[in-house]
Amino acid sequence: MKPAPFRYHAPRTEAEALSLLAALAPEEGRVIAGGQSLVPAMALRIARPSHLVDINNVAGFDRLAVEDGWLRVGPLVRHAALGEGAVPGPLGRLLEAVRGHIAHLPIRTRGTVCGSLANADPASEWCLLATTLGARFHARSLRGERVIEADAFFGGFMTTALAPDEILVELRLPVLSDAARTGFHEFSRRAGDFAQAAALAVLELREGVIAAPRLGLGAVEDRPRRLREAEALLAGRAPSEALFHEAAATARTGLVPMDEDPYRLDLAETVIRRALSAAAGMPAP
Amino acid sequence: MSDAMHDFTLTVNGQAYAIRVEARRTLADALREDCGLTGTHLGCEHGVCGACTVLMDGQPVRACLLFAVQAEGRAIRTVEGLAEGGALNPLQRAFAENHALQCGYCTPGFLMLGTAILETDPSISDEALVEALSSNLCRCTGYANIARAIRAAADAMSTEGAT
Ligand SMILES: Cc1cc2nc3c(=O)[nH]c(=O)nc-3n(C[C@H](O)[C@H](O)[C@H](O)COP(=O)(O)OP(=O)(O)OC[C@H]3O[C@@H](n4cnc5c(N)ncnc54)[C@H](O)[C@@H]3O)c2cc1C
Ligand code: FES
Ligand code: FES
């Protein structure tokens, strides 16, 4: 349970971090942020990076700000930083609720939001949230900056569109309108453990019917997915248990779960119905 | 792969320790092997059990998921720093009085987690306390007495503070 040897680098500026990564990525050099996924993988020798570029001392990487309708999350924003009113409005309340499902206090003080996205665990709550809300991913390398849209960021099991020399320098989440209602539901076997299935619903109720619905599912397929067919079915309809059943059944037919276990699909339907009910302010089915 | 050595100072419980370690040396191993502070225990060495929990700049962290080089310039607190002048502190006393340990393997981790909880949220709700304690594993006690001890210490400290 001891990591293999590696060389350690601790840049203080973004420019220095990008140059180090450009030079070391071809030799299996990796970024380390919170280390809460990478270090366990190194202890188990699943990961054996030859160099670590530690971004924990990079000035400005802990920025968290709302600007022009987007919440901008820098690479050193820890899970713990998204609690108790850190971000205003429905988005802030959603982030705080979702954060409560991620690991435990001593892991949340170190682990980062951007690290979770780069790690792309199919069960990651932040990956589900970014997919459902239509986040933008800003990646930078010595070659320049590019913006990756949510639909293109996750490429499969623990795989992203990031190149080895790129740092995810910012996640942008669209600020939700004051009328937005959100519901998140996760099933996991133990508190703080990874989800077996998780769903997020964001919608508005206008004159009794659902408007602007967004629905996402995590931990079932090899990457989080936005359930667009179910969204189309929900739009313009009055919320009811029967409608949410129908939406969950529609979502189920298109799923390609990581395991063949039908239990996974049953769980998917359940978390979808519960997330929708929570968003609509109805009791949990 | 050359395993370059790093020379630096770790500050643990207010005391400076000059150490020389490989980059891959975890903070937990450095505390035990290089500083001789064996109070911090290792259970799983991959972030699951919480036995290695210490405080870094006042925040609870898993010492098995940090490299010692990353702790340079930071204030580390371990279980050895809790007792005051050779006497158990209120949290340690509460653990003893409430039978919050049996074999004691998990105890250093729970004491440091409990210290963080008492320092950041002394009037924590029962629900939040149980959630916070789910961070660490104990194979002996069944957790109820650990929660009771932390609550008792919080009560003892608030009456002390009031007088
Ligand atoms: C016991 C335990 C329980 C956990 N439970 C959960 C859970 O329920 N839900 C959950 O989502 N997570 C959970 N985690 C994982 C935790 O949330 C991690 O913090 C997170 O997955 C990774 O973030 P990090 O900052 O620690 O990244 P690191 O471990 O430092 O890095 C992870 C990967 O991302 C890369 N990387 C990191 N930051 C960047 C960046 N800015 N740009 C490019 N690449 C980057 C690294 O090179 C590495 O490949 C758990 C961890 C533990 C130990
Ligand atoms: S030894 Fe660090 S969490 Fe188990
Ligand atoms: S007292 Fe034995 S593991 Fe907790």
Q: Extract the tokens encoding A161.
A: 């569109």
Both A17 and A76 in one domain: the answer is: no
Contact with chain B for residue A109, Cβ under 8 A = yes
Task: Give the pLDDT confidence score for residue A262 in this predicted structure.
Answer: 85
- Spatial strand order of the sheet with A167-174 comes to A64-67, A70-73, A167-174, A136-141, A144-149
pLDDT at B163 over 60: no
Contact with chain B for residue A10, Cβ under 8 A = yes
Both A272 and A191 in one domain: the answer is: yes
Tell if the CB–CB gap between B66 and A8 is shorter than 8 Å.
no
In eight-state DSSP terms, residue A274 is H
Q: Extract the tokens encoding B18.
A: 């000059």
In this complex, the residue of B3, B46, B60 whose CB is nearest that of residue A5 is B3
Task: Give the pLDDT confidence score for residue B15 in this predicted structure.
Answer: 98
Question: Would residue A195 count as lying in a domain?
Answer: yes
Both A122 and A161 in one domain: the answer is: yes
Name the helix (H) or strand (E) containing A214.
Answer: strand A209-218
Cα–ligand 1 centroid distance for A35 (angstroms): 6
First to last CA, chain B: 60
Q: Give me chain A's average pLDDT, please.
A: 96
Ligand 3 pocket member B102 (CB < 6 A): yes
- Given a contact cutoff of 8 angstroms between Cβ atoms, the answer to whether B92 and B102 are in contact is no
Alpha helices in B9-89 (DSSP H): 27-29
When computed from its CA atoms, the radius of gyration of chain B, rounded to whole angstroms, is 16
Residues of B with CB under 8 A from a CB of A: 1-4, 6, 22-24, 26, 29, 44-47, 50, 53, 59-62, 64-67, 69-70, 113, 116, 131-132, 134-136
Question: Would residue A221 count as lying in a domain?
Answer: yes
Nearest Cα to Cα of residue B55 among A87, A109, A275, A116: A109
CATH of the domain at A48: 3.30.43.10
- Given a contact cutoff of 8 angstroms between Cβ atoms, the answer to whether A24 and A53 are in contact is yes
Ligand 3 pocket member B146 (CB < 6 A): no
- Given a contact cutoff of 8 angstroms between Cβ atoms, the answer to whether B96 and B88 are in contact is yes
Q: Final residue of a domain: which of A33, A54, A75?
A: A54
Task: Give the pLDDT confidence score for residue A170 in this predicted structure.
Answer: 98
In this complex, the residue of A50, A110, A192 whose CB is nearest that of residue B65 is A110
Tell if the CB–CB gap between A7 and B2 is shorter than 8 Å.
yes
Question: Would residue A1 count as lying in a domain?
Answer: no
Question: Would residue A232 count as lying in a domain?
Answer: yes
Give the C-alpha distances (Å, rounded to integers) separating A241 from A235, A273, A277, B20, B58: 15, 8, 8, 63, 47
CATH of the domain at A244: 3.30.390.50
What value does the mean pLDDT take over residues A150-173? 97
Contact with chain B for residue A238, Cβ under 8 A = no
How many secondary structure helices (H) and strands (E) does chain B include?
5, 5
Distance in angstroms (rounded) separating the CA atoms of residues B9 and A26: 32
Both A13 and A94 in one domain: the answer is: no
Both A153 and A200 in one domain: the answer is: no
- A238 burial type by CB count under 10 A (0-12 exposed, 13-18 middle, 19+ buried): exposed
Quickly state the pLDDT bin for B161 (edges 50, 70, 90): low
Residue ranges making up the domain that contains A260: 185-280
Alpha helices in chain A (DSSP H): 14-24, 38-43, 89-99, 105-108, 113-119, 125-133, 150-153, 228-234, 241-253, 262-280
In this complex, the residue of A4, A36, A56 whose CB is nearest that of residue B65 is A36
Tell if the CB–CB gap between A7 and B60 is shorter than 8 Å.
no
Chain A CA closest to residue B60: A106
Cα–ligand 2 centroid distance for A224 (angstroms): 29
Tell if the CB–CB gap between A3 and B46 is shorter than 8 Å.
no
Chain B CA closest to residue A80: B59
Task: Give the pLDDT confidence score for residue B1 in this predicted structure.
Answer: 46
What value does the mean pLDDT take over residues A245-262? 93
Could you report the predicted ipTM of this complex, rounded to two decimals?
0.95
Question: pLDDT tens-digit profile of B10-61?
Answer: 999 999 999 999 999 999 999 999 999 999 999 999 999 999 999 999 999 9
- Which ligand has its closest atom nearest to the C-alpha of B40? 2
Tell if the CB–CB gap between B47 and A36 is shorter than 8 Å.
yes
pLDDT at B2 over 60: no
Both A91 and A150 in one domain: the answer is: yes
Question: Would residue A228 count as lying in a domain?
Answer: yes
When computed from its CA atoms, the radius of gyration of chain A, rounded to whole angstroms, is 19
For chain B, the farthest-separated pair of C-alpha atoms sits apart, in whole angstroms, at: 60
What value does the mean pLDDT take over residues A92-114? 96
Both A42 and A68 in one domain: the answer is: no
Domains defined for chain B, CATH in brackets: 5-81 (3.10.20.30), 90-162 (1.10.150.120)
- Which ligand has its closest atom nearest to the C-alpha of B51? 2
Both A74 and A149 in one domain: the answer is: yes
Distance in angstroms (rounded) separating the CA atoms of residues B46 and B69: 18
Name the residue with tokens 């608030």: B158
Helix, strand and coil content of chain A, in percent to the nearest 5, comes to 35, 25, 40
Tell me how many domains chain A contains.
3
- Given a contact cutoff of 8 angstroms between Cβ atoms, the answer to whether A54 and B57 are in contact is no
Q: Final residue of a domain: which of A122, A151, A174?
A: A174
Both A71 and A168 in one domain: the answer is: yes
Question: Would residue A19 count as lying in a domain?
Answer: yes
Cα–ligand 1 centroid distance for A269 (angstroms): 27
Distance in angstroms (rounded) separating the CA atoms of residues A73 and A171: 5
CATH of the domain at A74: 3.30.465.10
Question: Would residue A285 count as lying in a domain?
Answer: no
Pocket test for ligand 2, best of B32, B38, B46 (most atoms within 8 A of CB): B46
pLDDT at B82 over 70: yes
Interhelix angle B126-133/B144-162, rounded to 10 degrees, is 120
What value does the mean pLDDT take over residues B103-126? 97
In this complex, the residue of A50, A104, A106 whose CB is nearest that of residue B1 is A50
Both A39 and A72 in one domain: the answer is: no
Distance in angstroms (rounded) separating the CA atoms of residues B33 and A65: 42
Question: Would residue A180 count as lying in a domain?
Answer: no
Give the C-alpha distances (Å, rounded to integers) separating A250 from A86, A229, A273: 36, 7, 12
What value does the mean pLDDT take over residues A28-46? 98
Task: Give the pLDDT confidence score for residue B3 in this predicted structure.
Answer: 59
Both A168 and A263 in one domain: the answer is: no
Both A28 and A87 in one domain: the answer is: no
Q: Final residue of a domain: which of A174, A193, A228?
A: A174
